[in-house]
Amino acid sequence: MISLSSRNWYRFTLLLIGFLIGSFVIKYFISIEKETLFSRGRFVGILETTIPKEKETLFKLYDGVETFVMFIGYPRSSHSLLAAILDAHPEIIIPNEYDVIEHWEKYRSSRLTEKNMQKYVLFDDLHQHSMKQAMFGIRAGNNTSLTTGYHYNIPGLWQGGYQRRIKVIGDKKGDKTALDLTSSMRVLEEINQVAQVPMKFIHVTRNPFDNISTMMLLATESRDTVREEGVKINKSTELERAIKNYFQMAASNQRVRERYGDAVIDIPGHETVIRPKETLQRLCDHLGVTCSEDYFEKCSRILYGAPSVARDKVVWTEEQKARVTKMTKNYTFLKDYSFDEYPN
Ligand SMILES: *[C@@H]1O[C@H](CO)[C@@H](O)[C@H](O)[C@H]1NC(C)=O
Ligand SMILES: *[C@@H]1O[C@H](CO)[C@@H](O)[C@H](O)[C@H]1NC(C)=O
Ligand SMILES: *[C@@H]1O[C@H](CO)[C@@H](O)[C@H](O)[C@H]1NC(C)=O
Ligand SMILES: *[C@@H]1O[C@H](CO)[C@@H](O)[C@H](O)[C@H]1NC(C)=O
Ligand SMILES: CC(=O)N[C@H]1CO[C@H](CO)[C@@H](O)[C@@H]1O
C-alpha cells in the first residue's frame, strides 16, 4: 500500500516535471519567434501575437498604470543601480536601457495612431525589455561579464515582472538623455500624451567638481593614468570644455524641472549608499507606491561602495574653482555641493 502510493507520487512528480519542461520549451520558442519578429523591424510585440483573451489581460494591465517615470541627468552606475532596484519592486517596470526618446519615431507611426495602440505598444516594449534584461542582461543572476564591480541582480524580488499589477512604468536611458532633452522637450510632451498618465522624473546628482573632472578624464583618456597614487592631469583647455558641456546639461535638466516642477525628484548619488533606506523611501513616495521592509532590505544589499572622488585627480585653478562654485548657485540641485567637502 505504502509502496504503491509512493510510486504514484513518483509518477505524479515525473509528470509535473515533464509538464514544466514542456511549458518552458513552448515559452522559449514563443520568445524566439518574438525575437525574430522584432529583429525584422516589424514592431509586432506580444500584443499582436497573443490570443484575444490574453490580449485583454494585457490591455487591462497597462490601463492600470498610474505613472510614467524617466531618469534625467546621468551619473552612470547610480542610475543603473536605481533602475534595477525600482524594477525589482512588485508594481514597477523599468528596463535598463530602452531609450524611449531614441525610439520615438516608432510611436508616431500612423499604423499605431490609427488603431490607438501607441500606449499599449510602448508599455509592452518596456515590459518586454525589462523581462529580457532580468533573464539575459545585466540584471540576470548568472551574469558574470560585468566589470563595474556592481551587481544589478536582486534575488527574491520582481525584476523583469510584477506581482499583481503594474502601477509605475518607465525608462532609464543612456548617456544621451540630457542632450536629447535639450533639442526635444517636445518629445517629452508627446510621450506624456501617449502614456495618458502623469510623468515623473528621477534626477540623480553628483558633486559637480567630480562630475566635471570625470568628464575631462574620459575626454583625455586619462582614467587609467590617474589610478596611480598622486598623479594629477593638468590640462586646462580640456577642463574648460568639460565645464562648458557640464553646464549645458545642467541647464537642460533645469528646463525639465521648470516645466514639470514637483514631478522631478533630486537624488544625491552618495545618499543611495549612505542612507539607502531613506533614499528608497523618498523614491517610493515620489512614485506613489508602498515599499515593504523586505523590499528595502533586499535592495540595500546592492547599494554599497563609495563613489570616486575624481576632483582630486585633476588640476583645478583657484579661478576655475571659484567660477564653477558661482555657477552652481544658479541650480537648486547643485548649490549645496562644494569643492572641499565630501558629498560627491
Ligand atoms: C541565465 O539564467 C537565465 C534564467 O535566470 C537563463 O534563462 C539563461 O539561459 C542563463 N544564461 C546562461 C548563460 O547561463
Ligand atoms: C550580461 O549582460 C551584458 C550586458 O547587458 C550582456 O551583453 C551579456 O550578454 C550578459 N551575459 C549573460 C550571461 O547574461
Ligand atoms: C599646470 O600647467 C600650467 C601650464 O599649462 C602650469 O603653469 C601650472 O603650474 C601647472 N600646474 C600644476 C599643479 O602642475
Ligand atoms: C545664472 O543664471 C542667470 C540667468 O539664467 C544668468 O544670467 C547668469 O549669468 C547665471 N550666473 C552664473 C554664474 O552662471
Ligand atoms: C562619471 C559621471 O558622473 N559622469 C557624468 C557627469 O555628468 C555628465 C552630464 O551631466 C554625464 O555625461 C556624465 O556621465
Q: What is the pLDDT of residues 10-50, one digit of tens each?
A: 665 655 665 565 555 455 444 544 443 333 333 445 566 66
Residue 240 pLDDT > 80:
yes
Residue 288 pLDDT > 60:
yes
Residues with CB under 6 A from ligand 2: 136-138, 140, 142-143, 145
Pick the residue whose CA is nearest to atom 7 on ligand 2: 137
- 291-312: per-residue pLDDT in tens? 999 999 999 888 876 667 889 9
| Between 338 and 306, the higher pLDDT residue | 338
Closest ligand (CA of 160): 1
- Which pLDDT score, from 0 to 100, does residue 181 have? 57
Pick the residue whose CA is nearest to atom 14 on ligand 2: 136
CA–CA distance, 264 with 273 (Å, rounded to integer): 21
Distance 229 CA to ligand 2 centre (A): 33
Of ligand 4's atoms, which has the minimum distance to the CA of residue 329? 13
DSSP labels for 75-140?
-HHHHHHHHHHHHTSTTEE--SS--TTTTHHHHH-HHHHHHT-HHHHHHHHHHHHHHHHHHHSTT-
Q: What is the mean pLDDT of residues 259-285?
A: 92
Residue 151 pLDDT > 90:
no
Residue 111 pLDDT > 90:
no
Pick the residue whose CA is nearest to atom 10 on ligand 2: 137
Distance 288 CA to ligand 5 centre (A): 28
| Whether residue 121 has its Cβ less than 6 Å from ligand 5 | no
Pick the residue whose CA is nearest to atom 12 on ligand 4: 327
Q: Mapped to the 3 state alphabet, what secondary structure does 234-255 carry?
A: CCHHHHHHHHHHHHHHHHHHHH
Residue 182 pLDDT > 60:
no
Distance 160 CA to ligand 2 centre (A): 15
CA–CA distance, 130 with 88 (Å, rounded to integer): 10
Q: What phi-psi label fits residue 232: left (phi over 0), alpha (psi between -120 and 50 degrees) or beta?
A: beta
Residue 9 pLDDT > 90:
no
Collapse the DSSP code of 292 into the 3-class scheme (helix H, G, I; strand E, B; otherwise coil) and give the result. Answer: coil
- Which pLDDT score, from 0 to 100, does residue 37 have? 37
Residue 188 pLDDT > 70:
yes
- Which pLDDT score, from 0 to 100, does residue 191 have? 92
| pLDDT, the chain, mean | 83
For the entire predicted model, the pTM comes to: 0.78
| Between 288 and 26, the higher pLDDT residue | 288
Residue 69 pLDDT > 60:
yes
Burial of residue 10 (CB within 10 Å: 0-12, 13-18, 19+) is exposed
DSSP E strands, 284-340: none
Closest ligand (CA of 238): 3
Residues with CB under 6 A from ligand 1: 135, 140-142
Distance 124 CA to ligand 2 centre (A): 22
Q: Which residues of 85-98 are buried (b: 16+ CB within 10 A; e: fewer)?
A: bbbbbbbbbbbbbb
- Model confidence at 161, in pLDDT bands (50, 70, 90)? very high
Pick the residue whose CA is nearest to atom 5 on ligand 5: 75
- Model confidence at 237, in pLDDT bands (50, 70, 90)? very high
- Which pLDDT score, from 0 to 100, does residue 13 have? 65
Closest ligand (CA of 315): 3
